[in-house]
Structure 1
Amino acid sequence: MMNELVKLVFFFLYIQFSFAQSPTKLEKGDLLFININCGEMCEAINAVTEGYHGLKFNHVGLVDIDEKGGVWLYEAVEKGVVKTPLRLFLAYTKQPVYVGKLANEYHYLIPKVLDFCNSQLGVPYDHDFLYDNGKYYCSELIYDAFLFANEQEDFFQMYPMNYKEPHSEEYYAVWIKHFEERGMEVPQGKLGCNPGAMSMDEKIIMKEFIK
Structure 2
Amino acid sequence: MSLKNGDLLLVVANNTPLSGAIDRVTQTPKSTHYSHMGILEKSGKEYWVLHAGPRNGSERIRLEEFLYYEKQSGQEAIHVYRLNGEYRRSIPNAILEAKKWLGKPYNYTYILSDERLYCSDFVQRSFARDSIFRLEPMTFVNPKTGKTDLAWQDFYKQQKLEVPEGKLGCNPNGMAASSKIEYIGRIKK
Does TM-score exceed 0.5, indicating one fold? yes
- Residues 196 and 88 of structure 1: is their aligned pair in 2 closer, same or farther, counting only changes over 3 Å? same
Q: Which residue in 2 is equivalent to 1:180? A: 157
Three-state SS of the structure 1 residue aligned to 2:147 is coil
Unpaired runs of 5+ residues, structure 2, are none
Deviations, residues 171-200 of structure 1 (Å, cap 9, x unaligned): 333222322232211111111111111112
- State the structure with more CA Rg: 1
Counterpart of 1:82 in structure 2 is 59
- Whether contact under 8 Å (1:160, 1:188) holds in the other structure is yes
- Between stretches 48-57 and 197-206, larger displacement belongs to 48-57
- 2: CA distance, partners of 1:210 / 1:141: 22
Shift in alpha-carbon separation, 1:40–1:107, aligned structure 2, 3 A: same
Aligned-pair distance for 1:36?
4.0
Q: Which moved more, 1:162-171 or 1:198-207?
A: 162-171
Decide whether the 8 Å contact of 1:59 with 1:138 is kept in 2: yes
Q: CA deviation at 1:144?
A: 0.7
The aligned length equals 183
* 1:110 counterpart = 2:91: yes
- The answer to whether the Cα contact below 8 Å between 2:87 and 2:132 also exists between their aligned partners in 1 is no
The equivalent position to 1:171 in structure 2, one of 148, 157, 160, is 148
- The answer on whether the counterparts of 1:51 and 1:199 sit within 8 Å (CA) in structure 2 is no
Match of residue 135, structure 1, among 96, 99, 116 = 116
**Aligned AA (1:59):** H
Question: Aligned residue for 1:144?
Answer: 125
What is the Cα-based RMSD across aligned positions, in Å? 2.0
Contact 2:81 2:184 (C-alpha < 8 Å) held by counterparts: yes
Quick one: structure 1 residues 167 and 173, their matched pair in 2 at CA, closer, same or farther if it must change by over 3 Å? closer
Note closer, same or farther for the CA distance 1:53–1:207 as it changes in structure 2 (3 Å cut): farther
The answer to which structure has the higher strand fraction is 2
Question: Is 1:72 aligned with 2:11?
Answer: no
Say which is worse superposed, 69-78 or 92-101, in terms of deviation: 92-101
1:120 aligned onto 2:101: yes
Higher fraction of helix: 1
Unpaired segments ≥5 residues, structure 1? 1-23
Match of 1:48 in 2: 25
